[in-house]
Amino acid sequence: MNTFTEENYLKAIYHGSAPGGSVSTNEIAAALNTRAASVTDMLKKLAEKKLINYTKYQGVTLTASGEKIALSIIRKHRLWEYFLVEKLNFKWDEVHDVAEELEHISSKELVDRLDDFMGNPKYDPHGDPIPDRKGEFKAHQLKPISSLGVNEEGVISGVRDHSSSFLQYLEKTQLTIGKKIKVAEIHIYDHSVVIQSGDRRTHISREVANNLLIAL
């Protein structure tokens, strides 16, 4: 097995990689709140274990087995988040830190049974896809509200910013996953957007419009 730390590095590399691309030492250091020198040390170890492809100064990509591990961690993270929200009544902004711990519980039997217990959910509370036991998943096709024109509609299906302050803001303004919305107005001056949802109108900033994702 791998240590928690190794698992966190693999996950960070997975999340930091643009499709097909590689991740830099500094990006990993930023994601894990650590120093570049520490990252270099760990990259050597992960390369030694054949979990990443690493050549000095070139950045890294995951090998097939590294990606498999990363996906299993992400599966656990998202299933536990779903459990916390759906079964234990946590709010969607309260679950991430707990899931960061739970994702390292090793038992595969446990997550698979948890998955069945909850009816094999496909998306976590933030709209992110949950890999199945084979590591497969299909992501929603998403785009930010800021890319819509006036009168275009869609269903809120994901967030680009997972911070609890953003999630709390969305909760308060009732812009949560599953809500059907329409763009009512766009202010050219500051790119802020007025959203219509049912008979409720909400004025959101450009930043919020960039971070709120709707399904096509």
Residues contacting residue 49 through CB under 8 Å, at least 6 positions apart: 2, 6
Choose between 23 and 209: whose C-beta lies nearer to DNA.
23
User: Least CB distance from residue 105 to a second copy, whole Å?
Assistant: 5
User: What's the rounded Cα separation, in Å, for the pair 76 and 87?
Assistant: 16
Q: Which of 202, 160, 168, 165 is nearest to 185 (CA)?
A: 202
202 sits in which H/E element = strand 200-204
User: Of 154-213, which residues contact a second copy (CB under 8 A)?
Assistant: none
Residues in 94-153 at the binding interface with a second copy, rule: CB under 8 A: 94, 97-98, 101-102, 105-107, 109-110, 113-114, 117
Nearer to DNA, 23 or 186 (CB): 23
Nearer to Mn ion, 27 or 124 (CB): 124
Q: Which of 18, 19, 20, 57 binds DNA (CB under 7 A)?
A: 57
Contact of 52 with 14, CB cutoff 8 Å: no
Site for a second copy in 58-97 (CB under 8 A): 84, 87-90, 94, 97
Three-state SS for 44? helix
Which residues would be at the binding site for Mn ion (CB under 5 A)? Answer: 81, 96, 124, 126, 128
Residue 126 binds which entry of DNA, a second copy, Mn ion, none, CB below 5-8 Å type-dependent = Mn ion
Which of residues 38, 176, 192, 202 is near DNA by CB under 7 A?
38
Alpha carbon distances (Å) from 100 to 127, 144, 180? 17, 26, 30
